[in-house]
Structure 1
Amino acid sequence: MSELPSRTRVVIIGGGVVGVSGLYHLAKAGWTDCVLLEKNELTSGSTWHAAGNVPTFSSSWSLMNMQRYSTELYRRLGAEVDYPMNYHVTGSLRLAHSDERMQEFQRVKGMGRYQGMDIDVLGVDEIKGRYPFLETHDLKGALYDPNDGDIDPAQLTQALAKGARDMGARIVRFCPVTSARRENDEWIITTGKGEIRCDYVVNAAGYRAREVGRMFGRDVPMAVMSHQYILFDEIPELAAWSRENGGKLPLLRDVDSSYYLRQEKNGMNLGPYERNCRAHWHTPDDPMPEDFSFQLYPDDLDRLEWYLNDAVARVPILGTAGLSRVINGPIPYAPDGNPLIGPMPGVPNAFEACVFTFGIAQGGGAGKVLAEWIIEGKTEWDMWSCDPRRYTDYTDPQYCVDKAMEIYGNEYAIHFPRHMWPAGRDRKLSPVHDRIKALGGQFGPFNGWERANWYAHPGDDISEQASETFLRDGPWQARVREECLAVRDHAGILDLPGFSRFEVRGAGARAWLSGLTTGLIPKPGRIGLAYFADDGGRIVTEMSVTALGEDDFILVTAAVAQWHDREWLERHLPGGGPITITDVTEQYDCQILTGPKSRDILAGVAASADLGKGWLTHQTATIAGRECRLVRVSFAGELGWEIHSRIEDTPAIFDAVWDAGQGFGLKPFGMLALDSLRIEKGYRAWKGDLSTDYSVLQGGLERFVRWEKESFIGKASLAAEKQAGVDKRFATLTIEDSDFDAPYMSILWLGDTIVGETTSGGFGFRTGKSIALSMLRADLHEPGTRLEIEIFGQRYPAIVERDEPLWDPKNERIRA
């Protein structure tokens, strides 16, 4: 049925694999009154020319979940909807040229095993048994993924479309959307076939997502890249091997050389991600065409010459084949290479499911995630890695192009924990950035804001290559240790621009906040941590609440949480009431001054302040003739204050504190040191230790739950969980005999049984221990329990520590 109905529940704009998967999953969940609009024919965008590879590999836990779900869905989809599909589950090999690549593979193997996948790491001598035509002389090994393979993108999309239609959903083709407007809490979508009203709308427009986004006042952060792959004629040796073995070769990826090579019938398909890549449609002389359906760019083979030669050297039979065809089509890229799935920032009842670089592999899982967002307002897996709100106002078009080209050219690169990618930097600078840089600050971006990660001394190796390691030891290590010990013994100052900051005020604000949070709202003059749960009791976010008056508050949260947390507050705000929320993030800066000498330093510059006021208090003060707010907290776990000041007042305040501190051993410290210090205190970090993958009770945060409150979001679910018994609990582990600290999602073992995972890890320089914060099976929570932790494929002894901070367990130093 192609007629346009006058009204429906959900409108999806875009008929590629992702949009159709969203329609299918909505219908499967019972939301059959939904319509998909496509300006041309289904698959006419990036889907039709996609290579169709379906990997599960990812170093991201959430993306691996999504891709794993896709492979599981695709295996059964054809039979479920009675539609024939060519899905070849061939397995794949990813080649490693370095020890670091093998370490990455071992980490992904552990994550895959935890998700139930039989991913394995092979030695060099095992590779030819799976791929006999391969040259292996310069390799270290390979990762084997038995679930990898390829699928026909058009058949996949049509199968999903048939399933959706059979359940009652509608698809209207050749129906371009021209505008959107909001009336009476409805969306009115204008198309070439008339208007359609709906409750919810989804931008699934692929490489045209920015064009569609503008209809909603949204500038989608994306660029369009040209991706080429080459199809080769039949290779007799390959045809003979396939006949003899009854199948296809595993899909091959030489990730260090940056290409994939796949058997295509009895020929091959070579797809490079070249360094000398090209973005399209981002300049006035290269505008996006009105319609590019089923079209390609001209061939640009000169860009591929090096990769072709490398592939022939790796698989010599490729050199005997003639070139059959070159596919050069548009693929959308977000600035970090991950798609956008979730609420459209700042736009009510609107969602994004677009900018998929690997839409075929992720399409099945994306449809599931999208349907959950729309129907339930939350997702099974924490999907922050894909949430559109992870970007804010710094993603102008040039930034998006610069980052897309960087990501494309490094598509298969290892993502080392301390490596900072150079493109798109210096978007937002602290008012004392020049001072921090002069002190040796080595910067990293946080929601576009440049913060010092560590401070180099003259002669230190600050090259980009120096950070390309998983080892704890690097040029930063000695400096981070010095910074931590300065905080322990004297004092440190950390410039912290970009804290997300919201002013909440108006009659009833206290009661409203109390209903949103699990704990108590502090009294005027006090500050406290507040945890926000969803209706399932899962951790949505953490904010500090500074009470200026009975109904007057400042809420401060992570820099990257700005749009996420603001949207959460605004979504729950009573309509038409006196309570207001004002985002003042751009107006303020913050320094952390902490360490046993911090009171002495402040005494020299803030004489009128009452520096005897206790922990978790705040006050206004004057430094260098400028007003600021002194907040008696420290994420570093030492005596200290946060100094909050207006942007224009910050340089004078910083200079005064810095000068006063020189007689007390004051040193600058960076984000790497802060991470070390906070882990020793067991302080949680957002979207690692604190995420919707865990409940408030699992997160070890029951002390922040006030059961006596009449109601708060998530109370019923948390009460039921408490009564049934919490199945896993937050635990601090110390690791023995490892040169590596535990990355996120390292696996915990008791014998041959997986019993938990890490949520963050690092080295504590005050305690001299490698520490992992973790989620552990509840019955193993007893202090002294001995486990093993798998780090890059090796298991190391680990001990469950007491349920209190490793450093200053009684908080005597922080309260001093």
Structure 2
Amino acid sequence: MAEVPSHARVVIIGGGVIGCSVAYHLTKLGWKDVVLLERKQLTSGTTWHAAGLIAQLRATANMTKLAKYSQELYGNLEEETGVATGFKRVGSITVALTEERREEIYRQAAMARAFGVDVEEISPQEVLAKYPHLNIEGVTGAVYLDKDGQGDPANIALALAKGARQRGGKVIERTKATGVTREGRRITGVDWEQGSETGHIACEMVVNCGGMWGHEVGRMLGVNVPLQACEHFYIVSEPIEGLSQLPVLRVPDECAYYKEDAGKMMLGAFEPHAKPWALNGIPEDFEFDQLPEDFDHFEPILENAVNRMPMLGEAGIHTFFNGPESFTPDDAYHLGLAPEMDNVWVAAGFNSIGIQSAGGAGMALAQWMEDGQKPFDLGDVDIARMQPFQGNKTYLAERSKETLGLLYADHFPYRQKATARGVRRTPFHQHLLDRGAVMGELAGWERANWFADDGQKPEYAYSWKRQNFFDNVAAEHMAVRENVGMYDMSSFGKIRVEGRDATAFLNHIGGGQYDVPVGKIVYTQFLNPRGGIEADVTVTRVSETAYLVVTPAATRLADETWMRRHQGDFNVVITDVTAGEGVLAVMGPRARELMQAVSPNDFSNAANPFGTAQEIEIGMGLARVHRVTYVGELGWEIYISTDQAGHVFETLAEAGQDFGLKLCGMHMMDTCRIEKGFRHFGHDITPEDHVLEAGLGFAVKTDKMDFIGRDAVLRKKDEGLSTRMVQFRLTDPEPLLYHNEPVLRDGEIVGYLSSGAYGHALGGAIGMGYVPCKGENAADLLASAYEIDVAGTRVPAKASITPMYDPKAERAKV
């Protein structure tokens, strides 16, 4: 067996296609002391039995960039390494069997064009011409990508491993990582076992590429990697006479995909109700194993497939295969630096798209490790998005039953997960349910998204058109615009920063000025060295030595981790206090009247101006109010200790009857914020987006002490903007916008929407997106004609740099 060195710069645990890709890309960057440890044999977990479908188009521009990189890499690997990868560009077809699915795939096609992917919408007859064996009955539309492909999964991994070895990396099989040594937040070495021999390898970094063992390996490394193995089924037919090369075919409405391979037909399934596997741990001797057949589970898929592809009914089944693959709680893989440790990296949980993702994921992670910062926005897959509770085994088992099937389910806007719900509840949860709340889930939090009317079913009816809550949200929206509304913001993260260096620390990591009077609220960003936005938060000074940082619910852990990693020698204590307070937002022109009705405190501009906080009495309890808004109206966020939250809710709800108070949900917050042009972190602003190009320069104070990103801000001021955030309103009030719709300027695609929602007060769908503007001023930019591509239809749009609703921000400050 290969000798294990005593030291490595990095130890990669896991020898599937992902681990091999990370090793390949690190050595390509010139890293020499790269050691990959594989417990059994390379590819012996999931990679060896993967279907090998290689598609370009993913849900976001950067994920598509990584998928395109993968297929380009695989096309060249054989020449570089001499290992045949079986990579062929055979094209792919996705067919729709419903009008809703047709709109989904046509929206995807429009998105593909914005991302630079060649795509073609084709008719059922054109499908038949490309796939003569298909029964096109019921087909409503299809899309064709001619550069999609397929490959040999195991040989792709072996080629990557060989490439790593050729550049000095060590790939060592039959060597299991059994434990680690650590100092504080760093792993200092990995214990290993090779047959009867044991040893230790000192290292500077570790990468968890454990695949379906990733959760278990994560526990060993002291990090949370939520994933669960599920059974995944496919069949391979006997050879079919005359069967020649065909595009990969996906029929998501029947949960099926088809691949021709060497004159045989493979049929794979993503069934709606999956079977989690190895809930008590993966067997120690698992290697190139398959699981027992379960024909009853697969039979409904096969019945549809025989109707859709009649030749399958005549050909015998050569192989019925059942093998495990790992799935994550949100169907996005895990990549990046684990929040709990400072030198443990993760690339695992690839949700059955490991082959098409491996090249790009390995490249991105290697670059991140090399530079110490993300090469571009990876928020969709950043391991820091996972909440600690999501590592719970019961939760993972329940959620995994759904996530496998969601790969081929209708990806409707606002679609909510149905499993593993109710884990995190705000203090107002039951109060809201009793009043008609329809809950959604974000980062485990149950949040009221909208409120059903009396007699209306309090549940979603999904569609790409106006959904059943459209009128409800319109009423909530207009209540906030014209009267007063109240909604629950308890899920937003609350991080207390306290200590003698609190002001200096925040002035180091944030772009704002935090040396402000007690009670002052600062809207601000944490920037990276490129001037990109790592966090979008409010910072309230609550005492001379303490601040409260309020973050989006989904990024609380990531934002806290960013602060901890940049704490340095500053004398501060950073504490997550999210669960300690419930938060109710009271917003609208009559918000002051309602607040005055329940509290003896003074809510006038003189006593409590915009951007300040004060302690108040409310009902029989106590609270703190922050006069800020994410909906663009007069209002207060009320922070209440959880023990008094129920009382304060009841006090406001009762008093609100005299003012026509309307309970509102998160959808209303989104429709109101987009009318105001307020940015949404993760969509409109990301680590890749420069704070000045995002239009947030007003929040950056370059005249203060040095802070992270200051040089990049000053450089951009000198160079001028290359792109600019623009707000759009469709002139036709009917179409809906979500995000990623292409933006056309004078007939040419120049970008895509980063977010979209309906502007009920403005009377049309609103989108936000970046438009290239190098050498142009705002007047030049707005002089053009703009259109938005909605599922293949170009819809004229008005464009604006300033908010279309209340451009001078007068309403919030009255």
Could you say which TM-score interval applies, normalised by the shorter chain? Answer: over 0.9
Name the structure 1 match of 2:72.
72
Task: Within 5 Å, give how 1:241-256 maps onto structure 2.
Answer: 242=244, 248-256=245-253
CA distances 1:7-27 after superposition (whole Å, capped 9, x unpaired) = 111111000000110011111
Q: Cα offset for 1:609?
A: 4.2
Q: Cα offset for 1:85?
A: 2.2
Q: Cα offset for 1:407?
A: 1.6
Q: Cα offset for 1:549?
A: 2.8
1:431 to 424, 427, 434: 427
Conservation of the 8 A alpha-carbon contact between 1:781 and 1:800: no
Structure 1 pair 276–455 and aligned structure 2 pair: CA distance change class (3 A) = closer
Conservation of the 8 A alpha-carbon contact between 1:336 and 1:404: no
Name the structure 1 match of 2:268.
271
Task: Within 5 Å, give how 1:350-749 maps onto structure 2.
Answer: 350-357=344-351, 358-395=353-390, 396-464=392-460, 466-467=461-462, 469-471=463-465, 473-521=466-514, 522-575=516-569, 577-612=570-605, 613-737=608-732, 739-749=734-744
Q: Distance in 1 between matches of 2:40 and 2:282?
A: 16
Q: Distance in 2 between matches of 1:169 and 1:721?
A: 40
Structure 1 pair 174–563 and aligned structure 2 pair: CA distance change class (3 A) = same
Q: Cα offset for 1:741?
A: 2.4
Name the structure 1 match of 2:32.
32
Name the structure 2 match of 1:221.
226
Structure 1 pair 281–186 and aligned structure 2 pair: CA distance change class (3 A) = closer
SS in 1 for 2:736: coil
Q: Distance in 2 between matches of 1:14 and 1:298?
A: 25
1:344 aligns with 2:349: no
Conservation of the 8 A alpha-carbon contact between 1:462 and 1:475: no
Q: Cα offset for 1:64?
A: 2.1
2:322 to 316, 319, 328: 328
Task: Within 5 Å, give how 1:120-131 maps onto structure 2.
Answer: 120-131=120-131
Name the structure 2 match of 1:308.
302
1:799 aligns with 2:798: yes
Name the structure 1 match of 2:808.
810
Q: Distance in 1 between matches of 2:336 and 2:23?
A: 15
Conservation of the 8 A alpha-carbon contact between 1:505 and 1:553: yes
Name the structure 2 match of 1:203.
208
Q: Distance in 1 between matches of 2:446 and 2:115?
A: 35
Conservation of the 8 A alpha-carbon contact between 2:437 and 2:458: no
Conservation of the 8 A alpha-carbon contact between 2:595 and 2:603: no
Q: What amino acid is the match of 2:247?
A: P
Q: What amino acid is the match of 1:252?
A: L
The answer to which of 146-155 and 614-623 deviates more is 146-155
Name the structure 2 match of 1:766.
761
Q: What amino acid is the match of 1:267?
A: K
| Identical residues among aligned pairs (%) | 34
Q: Cα offset for 1:322?
A: 1.2
Q: Cα offset for 1:87?
A: 1.0
Q: Cα offset for 1:188?
A: 1.2
Q: Cα offset for 1:734?
A: 1.2
Q: Cα offset for 1:367?
A: 0.2
Name the structure 1 match of 2:106.
106
SS in 2 for 1:596: coil
RMSD: 1.7
Q: What amino acid is the match of 1:629?
A: R
1:191 aligns with 2:192: yes
Q: Cα offset for 1:610?
A: 4.6
Conservation of the 8 A alpha-carbon contact between 2:450 and 2:473: yes
Aligned residues: 800
Structure 1 pair 605–738 and aligned structure 2 pair: CA distance change class (3 A) = closer
Name the structure 2 match of 1:788.
787
Q: Cα offset for 1:186?
A: 4.8
Conservation of the 8 A alpha-carbon contact between 2:739 and 2:767: no
Q: Distance in 2 between matches of 1:578 and 1:799?
A: 50
SS in 2 for 1:256: helix
SS in 1 for 2:71: helix
Structure 1 pair 486–115 and aligned structure 2 pair: CA distance change class (3 A) = closer
Q: Cα offset for 1:495?
A: 1.1
Q: Distance in 1 between matches of 2:22 and 2:119?
A: 28
1:295 aligns with 2:296: no
CA distances 1:88-145 after superposition (whole Å, capped 9, x unpaired) = 2111111111222122222222232233221111111211121111111210121111
Q: TM-score, normalised by structure 2?
A: 0.96
CA distances 1:569-608 after superposition (whole Å, capped 9, x unpaired) = 0000024x42111111121111100111111111122103
Conservation of the 8 A alpha-carbon contact between 1:732 and 1:772: yes
Q: Cα offset for 1:59?
A: 2.7
Conservation of the 8 A alpha-carbon contact between 1:742 and 1:772: yes
Q: Distance in 2 between matches of 1:449 and 1:508?
A: 33
Conservation of the 8 A alpha-carbon contact between 1:17 and 1:359: yes
SS in 2 for 1:555: strand
Q: Cα offset for 1:500?
A: 0.7
Q: TM-score, normalised by structure 1?
A: 0.95
Q: Distance in 1 between matches of 2:554 and 2:720?
A: 33
Q: Cα offset for 1:84?
A: 2.4
Q: What amino acid is the match of 1:234?
A: P
The answer to which of 706-715 and 329-338 deviates more is 706-715
1:60 aligns with 2:60: yes
SS in 2 for 1:515: helix
Name the structure 2 match of 1:245.
none
Gaps of 5+ in 1: 243-247
SS in 2 for 1:88: coil
Conservation of the 8 A alpha-carbon contact between 1:461 and 1:475: no
Conservation of the 8 A alpha-carbon contact between 1:449 and 1:497: no
Gaps of 5+ in 2: none
Q: Cα offset for 1:418?
A: 2.3
Name the structure 1 match of 2:17.
17
SS in 2 for 1:200: strand
Conservation of the 8 A alpha-carbon contact between 1:109 and 1:119: yes
Structure 1 pair 804–750 and aligned structure 2 pair: CA distance change class (3 A) = closer
Q: What amino acid is the match of 1:446?
A: L
CA distances 1:395-426 after superposition (whole Å, capped 9, x unpaired) = 22222122211121232112111222211111
Q: Cα offset for 1:65?
A: 2.3
SS in 2 for 1:394: helix
CA distances 1:286-308 after superposition (whole Å, capped 9, x unpaired) = x4211211111111122111211
CA distances 1:484-535 after superposition (whole Å, capped 9, x unpaired) = 1111222110012221111111112212211211222243221011111111
Q: Distance in 2 between matches of 1:391 and 1:603?
A: 40
Q: Distance in 2 between matches of 1:413 and 1:625?
A: 49
